[in-house]
């Protein structure tokens, strides 16, 4: 049982928007060598592995873990076709 007041929980739409924003931030990092160099300066992580792991964090193969409608975000897309 959750001790969070239902009125204080973010809406499904807000959660989906936050997930979308984190995916966009990830794609910006993955697409930019400069951003990756900055990330490397600011962390102790090995950046190539970190970039791959971040993708796995935000895009689980097991889409049943996604909240709300996000479980169907990639269904039928070119991305899902490449995974099959």
pLDDT tens-digit profile, the chain (84 residues): 566 677 788 899 999 999 889 889 999 999 999 999 998 998 888 888 888 888 888 776 665 655 554 444 544 444 444 444
For 14, the domain range is 10-83
**What pTM does this model have?**
0.56
- For residue 2, being part of any structural domain is answered with no
- Per the structure, the count of domains in the chain is 1
Which are the contacts of 70, defined by CB distance < 8 A and separation ≥ 6? 16, 19, 63
Q: Is residue 1 a part of any domain in this protein? A: no
CA 60 to chain centre: 8
Contact 47, 36 (CB under 8 A): yes
Residue 61 is assigned to a structural domain of this protein = yes
Query: CA geometry: angle at 22 spanning 50 and 79, to 5°?
Result: 80
Tell me whether residue 70 is in a domain: yes
């Amino acid at each position: 049982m959750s001790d969070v007041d239902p009125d204080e929980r973010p809406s499904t739409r807000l959660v989906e928007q936050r997930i979308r924003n984190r995916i966009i931030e990830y794609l910006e990092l993955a697409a930019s060598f400069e951003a990756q160099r900055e990330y490397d300066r600011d962390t102790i992580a090995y950046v190539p592995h970190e970039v791959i792991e971040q993708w796995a964090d935000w895009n689980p193969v097991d889409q049943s873990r996604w909240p709300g409608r996000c479980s169907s975000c990639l269904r039928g897309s070119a991305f899902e076709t490449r995974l099959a």
